[in-house]
Amino acid sequence: MGRWIALLLLLIVGGALLSVWRGWLEVPPQWNPWAPLDVKAAPNWLTGYKLMSLRSDPQLCAQALSSSELRVTRQSDSPDAKCPLIGALRVQGGEVVLSSSFLASCPLAVAYALFERHTLQPAAQAVYGEKVVRLDHLGSFACRNIYNRENGALSRHASADALDIAGFRLADGRTVSVLKDWPKQSQDAAFLRQVRDGACEAFSVVLSPDYNAAHRNHFHVDVGRWSVCR
């Protein structure tokens, strides 16, 4: 009996998904697995799937990015370089000013826009009642192996899929530093931990000072194939 119920439920779910895919059944875009990701919409259980879909579909990624307020410029492709970049963007900032612009793959740019809107600013409001006005980073693209080792796998930085975040400035002038404030038992440390935890919803990998000493002064965030939140 249980087997027949399970089969019936499977048929119902499969039929519903087919109807949504074919357009026979109208559902809000945020609940449609095949609708482009809307950065402005509140994240839900489909957001992770939609973010992963962007990695293999440049057109879908461009649609998602267009729903954000991030300012970007398209960079020239460098297919023959040691670390080739295709479809890379220079991110110039959004609501939050950047310490400098950075190179990003389209999926990284979308993940950053999602992080800024749905993690960073809500955390700042919850902890301080203030907005973040500036983000300090240590860079994104770097043609190198992991930890700059002579041999080994290329870093996600080598494909502009990673960003190293060092700190923040609030509207009231307060600065928060991963290096200085993470080890403390303070309001700033609580804010940094909330940001780290929330970043894991937008990025596939988030490495903080809890991971190892190499990350004592920054959060490494990337959109690679693995999933780690430390």
Q: 214 and 196, same structural domain?
A: yes
Do 200 and 224 lie in one domain? The reply is: yes
Is the per-residue pLDDT at 13 higher than 70? no
Query: What are the CA-CA distances from residue 214 to residues 150, 210, 218 (Å)?
Result: 17, 10, 9
CA distance 176 to 184: 12
Mark whether 161 and 57 lie in a shared domain: yes
- Of the pLDDT bands very low, low, confident and very high (cuts 50, 70, 90), residue 3 is low
For 229, the enclosing helix (H) or strand (E) is strand 228-229
Indicate if 109 and 15 belong to the same structural domain.
no
Average pLDDT, the chain: 90
| Confidence bin at 26 (pLDDT 50/70/90) | low
Whether 5 and 49 share a structural domain: no
Q: Among 1-15, 150-164, 207-221, which stretch is predicted with the lowest mean pLDDT? A: 1-15
pLDDT at position 175 over 50: yes
Same domain, 22 and 116: no
pLDDT digit string (tens) for 116-159? 999 999 999 999 999 999 999 999 999 999 998 988 899 999 99
- Calculate mean pLDDT across residues 153-166: 97
Residue 84 confidence (pLDDT) above 60: yes
Residue that wins the pLDDT comparison between 11 and 158: 158
Share of the chain above pLDDT 90, in %: 81
Q: Based on the domain organization, do 128 and 172 belong to the same domain?
A: yes
Domain containing 3 equals: 1-27
pTM higher than the cut 0.85: yes
Asked if pLDDT for residue 16 goes beyond 90, the answer is no
Q: Does residue 53 sit in the same domain as residue 101?
A: yes
Query: Same domain, yes or no, for 162 and 84?
Result: yes
> In sequence order, what E strands does 66-217 have?
71-74, 89-93, 97-98, 102-104, 132-139, 162-170, 175-177, 205-207
Tell me, yes or no, whether 65 and 134 share the same domain. yes
Q: How many CA atoms lie within 13 A of 166 on its CB side?
A: 10
Report pLDDT for 5: 53
Whether 197 and 99 map to the same domain: the answer is: yes
pLDDT value, residue 31? 83
Count the domains in the chain.
Answer: 2
Q: Is the domain of 11 the same as that of 65?
A: no
> Quick one: pLDDT at residue 1?
57
